[in-house]
Amino acid sequence: DQSHPQVQHEALRCWCEILMSEEKRLESGEAKKKMEKNQEISLSKKISGDQDSDASLVGSVLNQHSTRLFQLTSSVHPKIRLVTLDLIGILLRQGLINPMETVPFLLALQGDVDVPAVRNLALNLLIMEGDKRPDMLRQRVRAGVSLVIKISVYCLLLNLVC
């Protein structure tokens, strides 16, 4: 919150680019080729590396700071909300963030009437998660509604002060 919004935006955008390039590298098989060339890595380490959900160092770091990432979904700056959603979408796709924690924030963003792009992206992410885990979506509706109320009250107070 203390950093300039442009700095926050650029940092989030950089995280997105890093995750996307890592995903591209893994999908291209480059990582597997490197690992197979290295004779010092045992078979068990190769297998555990393939199955490690936190194989991405960047994803692991972002997972540690997911609370802050979720806070940024209610930033007063639309660009920050949008790039934060992009980042959350990448993390969800890569399985690096807990969908149970994410869904309430995506539901709360359905109340973002000022920026349709934010609302649409949040809706698309909700639809994807709903297709994968319909029961989980129903379980998190209450938390999402509670969060949208908190955000609405905060925005209302912010508008009254300004």
Does residue 119 register a pLDDT over 70? yes
Whole-structure pTM value: 0.76
12 confidence band (pLDDT: 50, 70, 90): very high
Please state the domain extents for the chain: 5-161
Helices (H), the chain: 5-28, 30-37, 43-51, 57-64, 66-72, 78-93, 99-108, 116-132, 134-139, 141-161
**Burial of 6: CB neighbours in 10 Å, binned 0-12, 13-18, 19+:** exposed
Residue where the block lists tokens 């709903």 = 130
Averaged confidence pLDDT in the chain? 81
Q: Using one digit for the tens of pLDDT, what is the confidence trace for 93-110? A: 988 899 999 999 998 898
pLDDT, tens digit, 9 for 90 and up, residues 26-76 = 787 766 667 667 666 665 555 444 444 445 677 777 778 788 999 999 888
